[in-house]
Amino acid sequence: MASHLKTNGRFRAALRNLPEASRAEIAKGLDRTALSMQRSAVARAPVDTGRLRKALASKVAIGKRRKGLEVEFGLRTKALRRKAFYAAFVEWGRRGYSAGAIRLSGVGREALGRYRKVSVRVAPQPPRPFFVPAVEANIGLWRREMRAALKRALARVSRV
């Protein structure tokens, strides 16, 4: 479960023609937006053991690529996904099973599913969204940051 903030291909191509300082303005804007989204997701994440919040709040949860013009945040590394593997169940919920129901329990060598009977009743878990609302709540901030960064970058280029 990770979210990408990136500029589209034509925009990135246009940014390559800008000086490095101007590209840095846009990268700083993306950084600020990603940090805000991360804080919002951490604040909205439900707490039972605290592992989900701790995984989302770690420094490794935010990564940059293409000289900062693409930012990714969330459970982006294998270690974070293992720590909070259940994040998708929290975000989107889980359907329940009654005792005796047959469900998929894995995939065998021949890529065929293995099925087993559920011995106990598993209660459904309603969705408790935290990640998607955090991203949606910060879209306006992302637009404002990009607009301001572009204005600063273009002002810097026009002075040269």
How many domains in the chain?
2
Spatial neighbors of 57 by CB under 8 A, at least 6 apart, are 38, 42
32 and 79 inside one domain: yes
Q: Are residues 35 and 71 in the same domain?
A: yes
Mean per-residue pLDDT, 57-84: 83
Q: What is the mean pLDDT of the chain?
A: 83
Residues 142 and 120 in one domain: no
Say if residue 73 is in the same domain as residue 88. yes
Domain extent at residue 119: 94-126
Q: Identify the band that residue 1 occupies on the pLDDT scale cut at 50, 70 and 90.
A: low
User: What is the pLDDT, as a whole number, of residue 44?
Assistant: 94
As a whole number, mean pLDDT of residues 101-119 equals 76
**What is the C-alpha to C-alpha distance for residues 91 and 150, in angstroms, rounded to an integer?**
34
